[in-house]
Every structure is written in structure tokens, then in C-alpha cells.
């Protein structure tokens, strides 16, 4: 596995995906945000579903959705494609699932907690809410106010599992990517 597993997380529309794309362009191994694929699957399988907030708050079976999401993130963590890489970057990590479940007052059991305890990342970079770049779209349903709440829950959840989140300052994609690379252990 990669020697260093680095999470880039934050609420919606904070610049995570742009940074991940930039790091990929620079030759780093990066895992994309997993929720996008299962959200699309859910939308395709239920054409009556109207997602008006985060998918985990509107799907018919949030527990199943979150279980799929957790398994997908664990599979990314274990993915053998990163075996020969010095660093692997992840667009969100396993604890993100619990942070969102906490936000939407959803219960989770021991397997969710154990996944966060058993699959540890080396570093976590947290992107704060940024009103100037915030947009919503067909995959990003939350309001800016919800994005602020998500940020709070992400920080609390990662801290609960022993992470010291490094907040990425505002700036253009290159500046933010450079900041992350300068702080990677």
C-alpha cells in the first residue's frame, strides 16, 4: 500500500475535487469522491426520487446507502493500485460517512466506528467553507449554511478519531495544492 495515505476533506464546494485533479495532473495517485457514483446509481434506479439535500438524507434506506458508501471508501483505502506509490490522496475519507450521519441525526453501529478505527490515514487536510466559491449543482445539494454545519461535523468526527486536521487556507488551486504538498509528512 501507499506509504502515506492523505485525506482531503471539507464540506461541499470547498475546492476538494479541483485540488485532487491538480494533484493528479502533477502525477500523484488520487482516489475520486466515491459518493458521486452511488448517488447516480440511486437516481438511475429510482426515477421518482427527488434529491433536495444530501443523498443520505433523502434516499429511501439511508443505512444501506451509508453502508455502501463506507464499503466503497474502505475498498479505496485497500486498493492495490496505490501499492507502489509514495503517497495516495483521497477525496474524502472513511470518517466523512460518520460526520454526515451525525449531521443528519442518523444512527450507526459498531462496524462504522470500527472502520474508522481500523483504517487510519496519515494526514487529513480540511478545506473550510468558502462563500465566494460556493455553488450548488446536480451533485451538490446543500446550502452554504449546511456546508458550514458539515465542516463543523467533519472537524469533530476526525478529531474524535485522533486526527489533527490541517486547515487549508483560501487561495487558487495551485496555491492550495502547494500548501498541501508542503505539509505532507
pLDDT, position 178: 97
Architecture of domain 4-183: 3-Layer(aba) Sandwich (3.40)
Q: How far apart are CA 21 and CA 173, in angstroms?
A: 9
pLDDT digits (tens, 9 = 90+) for 107-126: 999 999 999 999 999 999 99
Please indicate whether residue 56 or residue 125 has the higher confidence score (pLDDT). Answer: 125
The mean per-residue pLDDT over the stretch 58-87 comes to 86
- pLDDT at residue 50 greater than cutoff 60: no
Indicate the domain borders of the chain.
4-183
Neighbouring residues of 146: CB distance < 8 A, sequence distance ≥ 6: 11, 12, 53, 54, 103
What confidence category does residue 51 fall into, taking pLDDT thresholds of 50, 70 and 90? Answer: very low
pLDDT digits (tens, 9 = 90+) for 135-150: 765 555 677 788 899 9
Please indicate whether residue 2 or residue 118 has the higher confidence score (pLDDT). Answer: 118
- pLDDT at residue 58 greater than cutoff 80: no
Amino acid at each position: 500500500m501507499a506509504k502515506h495515505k492523505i485525506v482531503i476533506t471539507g464540506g461541499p464546494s470547498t475546492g476538494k475535487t479541483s485540488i485532487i485533479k491538480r494533484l493528479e495532473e502533477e502525477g500523484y495517485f488520487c482516489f475520486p469522491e466515491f459518493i458521486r457514483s452511488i448517488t447516480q446509481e440511486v437516481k438511475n434506479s429510482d426515477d421518482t426520487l427527488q434529491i433536495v439535500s444530501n443523498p443520505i438524507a433523502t434516499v429511501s434506506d439511508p443505512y444501506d446507502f451509508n453502508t455502501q458508501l463506507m464499503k466503497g471508501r474502505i475498498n479505496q483505502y485497500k486498493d492495490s493500485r496505490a501499492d507502489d506509490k509514495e503517497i495516495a490522496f483521497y477525496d474524502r475519507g472513511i470518517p466523512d460517512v460518520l460526520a454526515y450521519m451525525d449531521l443528519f441525526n442518523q444512527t450507526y453501529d459498531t462496524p462504522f466506528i470500527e472502520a474508522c478505527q481500523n483504517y487510519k490515514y496519515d494526514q487529513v487536510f480540511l478545506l473550510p467553507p468558502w462563500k465566494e466559491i460556493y455553488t450548488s449543482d446536480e451533485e451538490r445539494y446543500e446550502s452554504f449554511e449546511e456546508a458550514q454545519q458539515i465542516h463543523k461535523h467533519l472537524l469533530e468526527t476526525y478529531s474524535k478519531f485522533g486526527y489533527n486536521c490541517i486547515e487549508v487556507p483560501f487561495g487558487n488551486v495551485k496555491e492550495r495544492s502547494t500548501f498541501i504538498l508542503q505539509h505532507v509528512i
